[in-house]
């Protein structure tokens, strides 16, 4: 059986702080954590991986 999935998704948002709080809360039940953030970006990845894989 073939499985298709997304590898990376980029979103442009008006309020990065609010979006980071929202997506951190929404993705937490799926096993994702905030693993990278900086000036103008934030990235989430799976807890189970050694590295989150965020760029």
* Phi, psi dihedral angles at 43 (to 5 degrees): -135, 140
Distances in Å between the alpha carbon of 18 and those of 6, 21, 33, 46? 24, 5, 16, 21
3-state secondary structure of 11: coil
Q: Per residue in 1-55, pLDDT tens? A: 777 777 778 899 999 999 999 999 999 998 899 988 999 999 988 865 545 544 4
Query: DSSP characters for 18-49?
Result: HHHHHHHHHHGGGTEEEEEEETTEEEEEETTS
pTM tops 0.75: no
């Amino acid at each position: 059986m073939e499985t298709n999935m997304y590898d990376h998704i980029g979103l442009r948002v008006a309020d990065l702080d609010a979006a980071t709080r929202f997506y951190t809360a929404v993705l937490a039940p799926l096993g994702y954590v905030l693993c990278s953030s900086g000036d103008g970006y934030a990235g989430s990845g799976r807890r189970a991986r050694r590295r989150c894989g965020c760029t």
